[in-house]
Chain A
């Protein structure tokens, strides 16, 4: 099922241009008023960003209305925003978002678990493992998309090969940061725990993990960024046909449905921003000793 198989339904009619411009203006005013009344609720960067974004969309819309932009190559914002609403309403967008997020979340959680565990183990045996660093560095320099072909050979076409390369993409930033974070633990603190009768597990829980937490989280955010690049690449290369935002974008490109291509890009950007904000919220949840 694809949006373009219903050409008789004109998706551009859902939101008309004057209406769209009015909504943008109204939202700007509402945000500005909210900021004036409750300054804590709306940050100034959100307001400013929203105003700039609305300005850009307004200019784009105006240029399209004046027929200065080709509607096939650069459809106006009303077109692709109403297309998002349309694709959602026919139930086409949700499974795409679902399968992309499922792949990413699966691989990301796997990467988080494996990278943190391995990172703690490697830094525990730090002295003995340091020569392995050169090996890890060499493997790390192979970009995750380069593994795509090999993973298709190994796991076949489907979820498994996509998840493998996304896992690889997320793994190394988290791993390197975990090793770095664990090494940041102060020997004095470790010895304090040992002096007070704690065992190695206590050291791990009380000193090492709280110190490493911030670093692991930083690694997770970088890993997630790379994970997004990788999941979209896997879907563009049709690792699993018929599902995912990347596949939707690529398929619409082949059908020259630029509107859906742009809708897909906007949705990916919004999801990426939201996932990054969620991880950012975790920061400061755990405080290490300082």
Chain B
């Protein structure tokens, strides 16, 4: 992965001009293409209303106008384009970086780092959270120190992690795990504590032992809360991942963005940001799907988990009143 570690090879290629002239998208062509799509959507909305829903059409219009505005103002030179990249250039650059394998290498590096940290947090936080939720006395004693540690921003631990674990993958993975650990832990505790007393007593009356209580009452009833915690932990972990890669990494999308900034390659900065956005969006949608699936499977009513921000916020600040 030499390309992944160092972008200089790319810089040379650009200077010798081997990137330009090949498969570039002209701004006017881009504007025409977006306008055509917009026109097509409008026509199909006008003549065949059932073909495209109002919401989808609105989204189309907003995105097209946004892209047209972005491309158009830069093409007309209203803003300095050295520090901004139009969408056509971003697409060209993305294709180029994909062809070189540079983007894939960074995506793989970022994702493996993130998945390592996130699954580490998951594997530790959920069992520990269930234990702390079951033993209320222990949690009462441990909650204040845990809350203090939660308030230390994860990137602040990064330099300390570098001293402890050495330069490399270790500190980044550790910090990502730390960032997503607390939301998952606190939500798991919350979920376990909210389990219905009555249900537990029913199982016990029918002669079940504590393992049965755990399997049939506590875990199923805590699952939605745990999944919400996992989604919040994902958000924080993703934030911390980018921050760790910008500060201390030698590969990954954050590194790519920061390296491109150093070389004043604004298009690459935008490519990196778009990729981070796309990956984050995809994983968020995936987690939402999982959440919905488990809640529906439980036979419960789907309580607008994704639209009701209040509920999610309560979970973020779930130490409230302890």
Contact = CB atoms under 8 A, between A and B. Distances in A.
Contact of A131 (B55, B266, B270, B281): B55
A237 B246 contact: yes
Given A131-B55, A229-B153, A146 B273 contact: yes
B153 A132 contact: no
Contact of B261 (A134, A142, A149): A149
B269 A130 contact: no
A269 B83 contact: no
Given A141-B281, A145-B243, A222 B160 contact: no
Interface in B229-255: 236, 238-243, 246-247, 253-254
Contacts of A233: 155, 243, 246-247
Given A45-B144, A218-B313, A269 B151 contact: yes
A144 to B, nearest CB: 7
Interface in B270-322: 270, 272-273, 276-277, 280-281, 284, 308-310, 313-314, 316-317, 322
Interface residues of A, number: 69
- Among the interface residues B55, B149, B160, B308, which one has the most CB atoms of the partner chain A within 10 A? B160
B141 A48 contact: yes
B142 A52 contact: yes
Nearest to B245: A145
B258 interface: yes
Query: Which secondary structure dominates where chain A touches chain B?
Result: helix
Interface stretch (A8-16, A24-32, A185-193, A251-259): A251-259
Contact of A152 (B148, B157, B261): B261
Given A130-B58, A150-B269, A153-B266, A143 B145 contact: no
A96 B93 CA distance: 40
Given A258-B160, A264-B156, A268-B156, A141 B284 contact: yes
B254 A177 contact: no
A253 B155 contact: no
Interface in A173-230: 176-177, 180, 184, 215, 218-219, 221-222, 225-226, 228-230
Contact of A269 (B55, B144, B149, B242): B149
A228 B269 contact: no
B257 interface: yes
Contacts of B43: none
A145 B156 CA distance: 14
Given A130-B58, A131-B59, A145-B239, A269 B152 contact: yes
Contact of A145 (B83, B246, B269, B316): B246
Interface in A230-289: 230-233, 236-237, 245-246, 249-250, 252-253, 256, 258, 261-262, 264-265, 268-269, 272-273, 276
Contacts of B135: none
A53 B141 CA distance: 10
A100 B57 CA distance: 45
A168 B150 CA distance: 21
B31 interface: no
B59 A246 contact: no
B243 A149 contact: no
Contact of A232 (B59, B66, B155, B313): B155
Interface in A39-60: 44-46, 48-53, 56
B153 A149 contact: no
Contacts of A221: 317
B144 A150 contact: no
Contact of B156 (A131, A141, A232): A232
A95 B162 CA distance: 25
A142 B276 contact: yes
Contacts of A137: 281
A138 interface: yes
Nearest to A152: B261
A184 B313 CA distance: 15
A135 B277 contact: no
A132 B62 contact: yes
A147 B269 CA distance: 9
Given A246-B155, A273-B148, 15 more contacts: A49-B145, A52-B145, A130-B55, A134-B62, A143-B238, A145-B239, A150-B261, A218-B317, A221-B317, A225-B153, A228-B153, A236-B243, A237-B247, A245-B156, A262-B160
16 contacts: A48-B140, A52-B145, A135-B66, A137-B281, A141-B284, A142-B273, A146-B273, A149-B272, A218-B314, A226-B239, A232-B156, A236-B156, A237-B258, A265-B157, A269-B148, A272-B152
